[in-house]
Structure formats: C-alpha cells, structure tokens
Amino acid sequence: MARLILKDGTSFEGKPFGANTDSQGEVVFSTGMVGYPESLTDPSYRGQILVLTYPMIGNYGVPDDSKDKWNIKKFFESGEIQIRGLIVSEYCEEYHHWNARRSLGDWMKKHNIPGLYGIDTRALTQKLREHGVMLGQMVQDGHTPASEIRDPNTENLVAQVSIKKPIVYNAGRGKKRIIAFDTGIKNNIIRSFLERDTTFIRVPWNYDIWKSKYEFDGIFISNGPGDPATLKETHKIVRQALEKKIPVFGICLGIQIMAIAAGAKTYKLKYGHRAQNQPVMDLKTKHCYLTSQNHGFAVNEKTLPAGWEVWMRNINDNTVEGIRHKKLPFMAVQFHPEATPGPVDTDFLFDKFLKMV
C-alpha cells in the first residue's frame, strides 16, 4: 500500500502502480473522461499531482512514440510525462486498443512517475473543490513522509519545460513567419501552425526576440505551468511587442502573460479549470464553445487597461476566457483551441490570428 498525504494532514490510502518512488506536488483534479496520454505529457501540469475523476483509467493503454512529418510526436504533447504523480479510482492493467503498445503503469515506470489507485477520488475531489488545490505528497509503504512539502509554484517551472535554444520548423517554406515563446508549448499547437503553412520559430521563454537574427510577422505566446507573475523577462519582451503594434496571440499561460504585459493583473483560482468539457461564450456573438482547459490562474478583468475588452467568458464561473484589444491586433484565450485532448470547436482561432498577421 501507499498513501497520498495532503498538507492539512488528510491521508488517502491506495495501491501503488507506476514507479516505486515518493513524490510531492500541488494536488489538482481533472474531470476529463479520456485523453490521459496527452494530459500527462502537457507541460502545463508540471509540478502537479493529478487526480482523474473518471473512474477507470488505463483501459486503452499508451501509444508508441511515432512522429509526424515535422518530427513531432503524434500522440503526446511533449517529450516526457510532466506530472509528478497520478491518482485514480480504478487502474486497468490489461489494455485493449489498436494503437496501444504498453500499459499506463509501464509507461509511468519508465518516466519514474508514481501512481495510486483504489482511492476515493470523488471524496478527494470534493475536498479540493471545498478547500482549493492543496500541496500533497505520495509516500510508498514503509517510507517516512517528508516534514515539509515544497510548493512547486515557488520554482521557475516554465524554465524547466521550455527549450534552451531556438528551433525553426518549416524553415523558409512558410508563407508567414511566427515567432513563438515556448513557456511549455504543446506539440499540437506547433502542428496547428505548421498545418497552416507557416514558418514557426520556437524560442525559449526569455529569449530576446529584438536582438535575434530571426525575422517574424507575428508573435505567439504558449501555454505553460506556474504563476505568470514570475515571468518578468517575458512580460518585458511582450510589452515591447504591444508597443510596436506587432500582431500577438496567446493561449492559456499566454493570455496571462499578455494581460500582465498590457498592465493588468492575474490571480490564482481556487481549484482551476482542468478538463475537456469547459463551456465558454463569445460575449459579442453569444456563441458557446466546448473547450479543453488546464490552468490554475486567471486574468483579473477589473485591472484591464483602456482599449482592452473581455472577449470570452467561462459559463460555469464567469471567469475571463478571452481578451483582445479593441483596435490593435492583440488577442488571447485561456482555453486550448488545439485540443488534444478535447473538442476542436475553436480551432478557427489559429486562422483568425494568421489573418491578423
């Protein structure tokens, strides 16, 4: 047996799978029914212990590491599992799927990620909804719990998941050149741009694009983990882009970075939005979209400066899901239009941005 111990002392006992190791992180939950290979490799989950509310996990296994024509992994959103631990109600060791090559447990063991099953994830989720996300630790049988749990939000999680040197995709062949800040970018975001015939220049989170050799027509700011307020170097560069009136598009962490660069503030949500079923409304058209989301912070709309407007809103809790400038080519959304996993209702936003460029 093994345990999940929350910071307030609450303990949940379960059976271990995956790697036989202890782990610490911020305990969060996702209500998605499918998509664990994509979710576990999403860099936005860096530093977190993920609780999946869907009762049976692992039944369709894990696919292989095959890549597409751009040398990007087809079935995963990054090169590794990003979570620090996984909590499920029922783990299915025997998998059945035409594309499966290994079990979830074997995959997690390879990446040294522990898992627990047999836990009442419903009760755990209710606790997190009532009290908010909490720090926790996963402790294997016979091991002594740590006396202190380190808060991952005090680390520069973005620096951990970002690339170290620029990578250029589709060099010289794309009609438009997009430079993208990799603050934890998902593979399908890259693919979404490449499918639209762009040259995609992926740069580190703090890369000074004004002193680089790369020419570009527009700027993209990706998703990623942690507190957006800590990324001061990125704020400065994006603020300069806004001053130069260069087209800018942000997704997830990208909307928070853009808002801060414009002069607004962000705040931490009680338990965040993590699932593939989050309803969002366009305030102008009144059109509702189902979206995929994974974030723990949001934009404080009361702090948006003059010239900016709330574009989209979460129907469940009224939080900001999209902002844009009323006259200049700046827009950002809190959800994931590239999906993986989740609905592709908002895929058109990539086209909308490229028309602005």
- Give the active site residue among 77, 252, 321, 325: 252
Give me the numbers of helices (H) and strands (E) for the chain, helices first please: 8, 21
Assign residue 192 a region (left: φ > 0; alpha: ψ between -120 and 50; beta: otherwise): alpha
**Looking at the structure, do residues 222 and 246 belong to the same domain, yes or no?**
yes
Task: Examine the domain organization and report whether 120 and 165 are in the same domain.
Answer: no
Write down the pLDDT at residue 343: 95
CATH of the domain at 51: 3.50.30.20
Judge whether 311 and 331 are in contact, CB under 8 Å: yes
Q: Are 353 and 247 in contact (CB under 8 A)?
A: yes
CATH code assigned at 190: 3.40.50.880
Catalytic residue status for 97: no
pLDDT averaged over every residue in the chain: 97
Domain limits at 190?
A: 157-356
pLDDT value for 32: 92
Residue ranges in the chain modelled with pLDDT below 70: none
Quick one: pLDDT at residue 175? 87
Question: Are 40 and 74 in the same domain?
Answer: yes
pLDDT at 173: 87
SS3 at position 98: coil
Same domain, 102 and 251: no
Q: What is the pLDDT of residue 100?
A: 97
- Is the link from the previous residue into 341 a cis peptide, with omega within 30 of 0? yes
Based on the residue annotation, tell me whether 336 is a catalytic residue of this protein.
Answer: yes
Domains held by the chain: number: 2
Q: Are residues 174 and 132 in the same domain?
A: no
**Boundary (domain end) residue, out of 154, 179, 204:** 154
